[in-house]
Amino acid sequence: MKFFLAPLSWLYAFIVWVRNILYDDHVLPSHKVDVPTIAIGNLAVGGTGKTPMTEYLIRLLAPKYKVAVLSRGYGRKTHGFRLATAEDTAKSIGDEPMLIHTHFPDIPVAVCADRVQGIRLLQQMIPDLQCVILDDAYQHRKLRAGFYILLTSYDNLYVNDHMLPRGTLRDLPAESARANAVVVTKCPNTMQPIDRRIVSNSLRLASYQQLYYSSIGYEQLHISSTPLLVAGIANPDLLFKHLQQQFPDTGLLTFADHRNFTKSDVKLILSEAEKYDHVVTTEKDFMRMQQTPLIEALGDKLYVLPIQTTLGIDKEAFDRQILLYVSENNRKISIVNC
C-alpha cells in the first residue's frame, strides 16, 4: 500500500513546496502586524498537543500582559471573525477554542480563518492588546508571526515521517527552519539524557533554534472499575495507554478528530457504555458532547479527564525565551509610538 501512496505523497509535497516558494519569494503577500504574535503549530496533521501548549502560554503570559487567543475554529458552523461569548458552543467557534474559552473566560478568544484580519479586529476591540497567541497557525503563511513554536511528537518526529497520504506530514520537514523554538511533545516521564541527545541529533536544528522537551500530564481517575474511553481526537493512544496502566481492560471507542457527534454516534456510544460502569472522555470531546443528549444520558458514569503540558527541567529556559520575546517587542512598539 505504501508503494502506491508514494506517488501521491510526492505530488502533494511538490504542491506544498511550490506554495512555500511563492511565499518565500514574496510572490504571494505575507503580512506582519504591530503586536507580538506567537504562532503554535506542527508539520503533521493533529495530535501534537497544540491546545495544551496554547493554554500553557496563557498561564505564563496572562498575569503580566494583555493577551488574546486567535484560532481558525476548525469544525465550526459559523464563518468570518467571531469573539467567544458566554452564548457560544463548539458548533459556533470550534471545540478547541471553546475549551480554551471555558478554561479562561476572562481571556479574549476569537476565531477567524484569516489570521491577519483576525488580529487587526482584535486590536480594534482591545486597544491595549500586548500579545496574540495563534493556535495552529504554522502553515498560515499570509501572516508572518513574530515567534514560531513548532511541536513534534516524541513517538513520531517529523524527520521520521512522510508527507500525506503516505504519512501524516502536511508540510515539508524543511519548513521547520522557520521555528524559533521546537518542542518535542508527549515525551515519556522516564526520558534520560541519552534519549534527549538522540532526538537532538535526529532533528539537527539550526543554531538560532532552541529545543525543548515536554510531557503530557493526566489526572488519576478515582474510580474502581474498568472504564470505556470515548475519544474523537487525532491520537488517543497516549491517553488509552495511561488508562490501561490503571485498568488493563479499558475499552476504546474512537471517532475522527473534531467530529461532531451524530445521532448514530450517540446511539453507538450509549450502546457500548452499557457494558461499562464508567465512560471516560477528553475535555475537547466533552465540548462537542454538550450539543448532544450524551451528557444527560450518561450522567454520573461520565468522567472528563483534563490534560496539561509540563516542561520539567526545560520550563525555566522556555518561559524565559517566551517572556523575553513579548517584553522586547512590546518595548519596541512603545518606542515607535513615542
Q: How far is CA 250 from the centre of its chain?
A: 26
Is the distance from CB of 72 to CB of 113 less than 8 angstroms? yes
Is the distance from CB of 168 to CB of 156 less than 8 angstroms? yes
Identify which has the larger pLDDT, 241 or 46.
Answer: 241
The H or E element that residue 284 is part of is helix 283-289
The span from the CA of 52 to the CA of 306, in Å, is 10
DSSP 3-state percent helix, strand, coil across the chain (nearest 5):
40, 20, 40
Q: Is 185 exposed, middle or buried (0-12, 13-18, 19+ CB in 10 A)?
A: buried
Is the distance from CB of 242 to CB of 218 less than 8 angstroms? yes
**Helix segments in 74-205, DSSP class H:** 90-93, 95-103, 115-125, 193-203
pLDDT of 47? 85
Compute how many other C-beta atoms are within 10 angstroms of the C-beta atom of residue 19.
Answer: 15
Q: In a 3-state reduction of DSSP, which class is residue 6?
A: helix
**Helix segments in 186-248, DSSP class H:** 193-203, 237-246
The H or E element that residue 304 is part of is strand 302-305
- pLDDT band of 278, cuts 50, 70, 90: very high
Which residue carries 491520537 as its cell? Answer: 235
Same fold across 24-216+311-330 and 220-305: yes
Residue 338 has pLDDT above 60, yes or no: no
In tens, the pLDDT along 189-206 reads: 899 999 999 999 999 999
Which residue carries 473566560 as its cell? Answer: 105
pLDDT of 336? 65
Percent of the chain with pLDDT over 70: 97
pLDDT of 218? 87
pLDDT of 217? 86
- Chain mean pLDDT for the chain: 95
Q: Which residues are CB-contacts of 3 (< 8 A; sequence separation ≥ 6)? A: none
In tens, the pLDDT along 218-253 reads: 887 889 999 999 999 998 999 999 999 999 999 999
pLDDT of 335? 67
Instruction: Domain 24-216+311-330: give its CATH superfamily.
Output: P-loop containing nucleotide triphosphate hydrolases (3.40.50.300)
The span from the CA of 7 to the CA of 150, in Å, is 27
The dotted CATH code for 220-305 is 3.40.50
Domain boundaries, the chain: 24-216+311-330, 220-305
- pLDDT band of 21, cuts 50, 70, 90: very high
